[in-house]
């Protein structure tokens, strides 16, 4: 259905931030700290592992509870997107200035928390009513996986290329996808799939056809009847 492309594109837009953020934070940044940074930052992979365990695994149930308590998934998505878009360039700049392990750990943990709150906790709750139930899982899965493969897969390569132009430039990838994520939420905030009204119209048409068939068959002794099986 042509009308289904709008919410699918919005899902991909919101997923772009979580995908690019996750790949830059926990795949590209440790490599940058260990290989590209001069001097290198010690214990880069250990810092990344612990930060990911805390932000992406241990605290996800708590983030889900917080999102449930807010009862406003759109606001939670926008807040997480704005925070990541603004905060990551600031914290990444501190990493470039200090080459410190503590600020690296704080950056991965804090930005990772907002990424986890956006992706599994708030986004899927927000988009569940944007698709008819018959195609909901297929539509969301296709949109999510396409965005994850595209933005997540290309982000490390793009970050490496941009770091040669400007050391701070990789941070603006998250800023850009953060803006894209906010647009995805805003463009789908009031959207309702037309399938609901189409289904109601179809049911009405079926009822009308049934009444017409009954009138044609008739109710008298000479009326047609459906033979019963013994």
pLDDT (tens, 9 = 90+) of the chain, 230 residues, equals 566 888 889 889 989 998 898 899 999 999 999 988 888 898 999 999 999 999 888 887 887 787 777 767 777 788 888 889 999 999 999 999 999 999 999 999 999 888 887 776 778 778 888 888 888 888 888 999 999 999 999 999 999 999 999 999 999 999 999 999 999 988 888 877 775 555 444 444 444 555 555 555 555 555 444 444 44
Cα–Cα distances (Å) from 130 to 1, 79, 126, 144, in that order, read 14, 20, 8, 14
Q: Which parts of the chain are beta strand (E)?
A: none
Query: Which CATH code fits 2-196?
Result: 1.20.1250.20
Cα–Cα distances (Å) from 83 to 86, 111, 174, 183, in that order, read 5, 8, 10, 15
List the chain domain ranges.
2-196
């Amino acid at each position: 259905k042509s009308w289904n492309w709008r919410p699918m594109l919005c899902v991909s837009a919101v997923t772009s931030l979580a995908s690019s953020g996750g790949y830059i934070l926990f795949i590209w940044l440790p490599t940058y700290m260990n290989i590209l940074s001069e001097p290198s930052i010690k214990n880069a992979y250990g810092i990344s592992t612990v930060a990911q365990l805390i932000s992406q695994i241990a605290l996800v149930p708590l983030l889900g509870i917080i999102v449930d308590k807010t009862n406003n998934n759109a606001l939670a998505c926008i807040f997480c997107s704005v925070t990541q878009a603004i905060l990551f360039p600031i914290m990444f700049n501190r990493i470039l200035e200090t080459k410190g392990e503590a600020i690296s750990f704080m950056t991965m943990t804090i930005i990772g928390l907002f990424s986890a709150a956006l992706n599994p906790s708030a986004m899927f709750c927000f988009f569940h009513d944007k698709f008819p139930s018959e195609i909901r899982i297929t539509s969301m899965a296709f949109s999510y996986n396409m965005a994850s493969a595209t933005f997540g897969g290309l982000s490390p390569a793009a970050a490496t290329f941009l770091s040669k132009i400007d050391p701070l430039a990789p941070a603006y990838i998250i800023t850009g996808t953060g803006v894209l994520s906010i647009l995805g939420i805003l463009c789908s905030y009031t959207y309702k799939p037309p399938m609901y009204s189409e289904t109601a119209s179809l049911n009405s048409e079926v009822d009308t056809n049934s009444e017409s068939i009954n009138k044609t068959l008739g109710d008298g002794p000479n009326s047609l009847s459906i033979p019963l099986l013994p």
